[in-house]
């Protein structure tokens, strides 16, 4: 796998994987990215141009995708619309990118016999009760709650069908919530960090009891590389780092980092269909492929993420006002 195509590689999670490839392999990387509002050239700027090439294009455009797939040994498919709130406002773009885009890519890898890894989300499984001791595994039933998670579930099923029907050499991973540098300020952790930087209280949906299973973006990247190189074709692997925290806990940890009172936050109108709890069991990935997360201390990882946003205000500041105006219009 000397030549790797990464779709959505200028986004938060995708660019983390590109950085991992440059740091830990000798592969050359082509990033295919539409450069929507959530992507950033800056996330790739420090990488050597001899190793990383950016192609601006749409994963749903077969004329762009076909020649790129033909020129690479493997494809890692991150490209997706991913913000739940936006999927409630405009589901159409999620269907186009997440479903049609994945179909377009599958047809290209089928035609050229190229290895594919498809990156998905734990949200395809729906949610768990707050007191439920269970965690999602590879055998958990799909029960998506939002247009975003429904389109990701659809794309997963397409990949599985193309493996079985056409012999496409593909794997799938479902991952928990990522955090780390370069994440757009519309997302939960960056929004709360930048609110506190601005002297504003964090904004937490409902009572803040909703639980997410957090993983550092670097650990997700290493997991995807492990699956791409050692995973069994046709298999799905759950990726998690045992990082369950309620939204209220995370907001309070951010406040504590800045020396603010843990009660200095706003509880705002809840999101429609807001999943209660995500929790993942990554035993299959750990036992079969030998992967383990390196960022096991969530508090330390969150602290380093906070410091990154403090140091990179010039990157997130241009987006902050519009994000907050959008949330304010919905009472959030």
Q: What distance in Å separates the CA atoms of residue 209 and residue 187, rounded to the nearest whole number?
A: 17
Catalytic residue among 123, 186, 213, 324: 123
Q: What distance in Å separates the CA atoms of residue 205 and residue 193, rounded to the nearest whole number?
A: 15
Angle between helices 298-311 and 188-197 (to 10 degrees): 60
> Is residue 61 flagged as an active site residue?
no
Given 3-state DSSP classes, what are the helix, strand and coil percentages for the chain, each rounded to the nearest 5? 45, 20, 35
* 170-175 and 211-216 beta bridge pairing: unpaired
- Per the rule left: phi > 0, alpha: psi between -120 and 50, beta: everything else, 99 is alpha
CB contact at 8 A, 42 and 66? no
Catalytic residue among 78, 125, 148, 309: 148
Instruction: Please report the DSSP string for 208-257 in residue order.
Output: S--EEEEEEHHHHHHHHHHHHHHPPTT-EEEE--S-EEEHHHHHHHHHHH
CB contact at 8 A, 95 and 113? no
> Is residue 89 flagged as an active site residue?
no
Instruction: Please report the DSSP string for 2-28 in residue order.
Output: -EEEEETTTSHHHHHHHHHHHHH---E
CB contact at 8 A, 29 and 22? yes
Catalytic residue among 122, 127, 275, 324: 122
> Is residue 37 flagged as an active site residue?
no
- Catalytic residue positions, numbered: 122-123, 148
């Amino acid at each position: 796998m000397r030549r790797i195509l990464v779709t959505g590689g200028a986004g938060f999670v995708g660019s983390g994987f590109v950085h991992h490839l440059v740091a830990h392999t000798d592969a050359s990387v082509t990033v295919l990215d539409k450069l929507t509002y959530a992507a950033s050239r800056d996330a790739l700027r420090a990488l050597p141009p001899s190793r990383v090439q950016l192609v601006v294009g749409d994963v749903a455009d077969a004329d762009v995708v076909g020649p790129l797939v033909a020129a690479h040994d493997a494809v890692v498919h991150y490209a997706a619309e991913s913000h739940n709130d936006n999927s409630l406002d405009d589901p159409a773009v999620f269907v186009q990118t997440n479903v049609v885009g994945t179909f377009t890519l599958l047809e290209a890898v089928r035609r050229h016999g190229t290895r594919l890894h498809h990156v998905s989300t734990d949200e395809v499984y729906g949610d768990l009760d707050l007191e439920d001791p269970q965690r999602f595994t590879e055998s958990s039933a799909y029960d998506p709650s939002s247009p975003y998670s429904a389109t990701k579930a659809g794309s997963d099923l397409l990949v599985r069908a193309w493996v079985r029907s056409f012999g496409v050499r593909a794997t799938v991973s479902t991952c928990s919530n990522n955090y780390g540098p370069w994440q757009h300020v519309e997302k939960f952790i960056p929004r709360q960090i930048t609110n506190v930087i601005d002297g504003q209280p964090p904004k937490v949906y409902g009572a803040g009891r909703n639980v997410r299973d957090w993983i550092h973006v670097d650990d997700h990247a290493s997991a995807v590389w492990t699956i791409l190189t050692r995973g069994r074709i046709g298999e799905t692997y759950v990726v998690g780092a045992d990082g369950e925290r309620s939204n209220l806990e995370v907001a309070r940890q951010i406040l504590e980092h800045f020396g603010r009172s843990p009660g200095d936050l706003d509880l705002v109108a809840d999101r429609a269909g807001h999943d209660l709890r995500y929790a993942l069991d990554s035993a299959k990935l750990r036992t079969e492929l030998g992967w383990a997360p390196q960022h096991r201390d969530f508090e330390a990882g969150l602290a380093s993420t906070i410091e990154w946003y403090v140091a990179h205000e010039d990157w997130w500041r241009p987006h902050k006002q519009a994000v907050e105006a959008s949330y304010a219009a919905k009472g959030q």
